[in-house]
Amino acid sequence: MRPSPLLSCLATLATACSFALTGCSGGILPAALANPASLTGNWQIASTAASAGRLPSLSGELTGTSAALTGIIHPGPSSSCAPTATAIAVSGQTDAKDVLTLTGSLGGGTLTITGTLAANAKSLTGASYSVTGGTCAFSAAAPADMQAYSSVTGNYAGSFSDSGGQVISITAALTQTPESDTDGNFQLSGTGSFPNNPCFSSPVSISHSQVTGGSFTLTYADPVTRNSVTASGTFSPDAQTLTVTNWTLTGSCGPDTGTGSLTRQ
């Protein structure tokens, strides 16, 4: 008996709808896999929770997309359970509800980071982290802020001041490396200029630097005057403003210390 044209049409339509919903794998395709967002860059997760007191922050690089993510992160400078040089290899992905989960080994235990990926793929909402087992273990997951930080690249201008009220102007041309080193840290290259300052024969090149999460440190060493200044501090997620929490001058013009700020022009 010849099948009804109407039934054949309905069967074809049902098959097409089923394929659209399930895909070749037989399950609904997660949004993160259908449209994976790039998460490559410099990230930081930090918590003020008591449970994370021995591991208040971690930072480093992530590479890949929400569908498949790897990275190298390390404990922050206030960590008391693992050295900051500890390189933690992490990996993970988001699920159908855009919840990102990253895991890695830390101090003989397992680090787990989780949170919902924001629409702009620059942060996690409801983020938390925990460590099961090992030297950094804590039982309760610590609520945290997890944020991507833009590259510290561009022309900056600002000033340094010391405790005596002296203020010096500074301009800086900075370029952050697009990839991290094996410890998950990024570096800066470029020059700094100190107008009308006899301590430096401007411009002076960066001799040492490090960027990780929302923190930075850089050193300008002048081979002519033999003076050097090391500045460290934090920067905004968009890298528009650098806040120098401490700078230290050494050499014939030193010692001297102070604070400062730089803004991208």
Domain residue ranges of the chain, discontinuous segments joined by +: 31-149, 154-264
Neighbours of 10 (CB within 10 A): 11
Burial class (CB in 10 A: 0-12, 13-18, 19+), 93: buried
Average pLDDT over residues 128-156: 97
Topology (CATH level 3) of domain 154-264: Lipocalin (2.40.128)
Neighbours of 102 (CB within 10 A): 24
Kindly state the percentage of the chain with pLDDT values over 90.
84
pTM: 0.86
pLDDT digits (tens, 9 = 90+) for 38-59: 999 999 999 999 999 999 999 9
* pLDDT for residue 35: 80
At 30, the pLDDT band (50, 70, 90 cuts) reads: low
Q: Which residues make beta-bridge pairs with 131?
A: 111, 138
Q: Do domains 31-149 and 154-264 have the same CATH topology?
A: yes
Distance between alpha carbon 30 and the CA centroid of its chain, in Å? 25
* pLDDT for residue 112: 98
At 122, the pLDDT band (50, 70, 90 cuts) reads: very high
Contact 209, 219 (CB under 8 A): yes
Topology (CATH level 3) of domain 31-149: Lipocalin (2.40.128)
DSSP string, 159-189: EEEETTS-EEEEEEEEEE-SS--TTS-B-EE
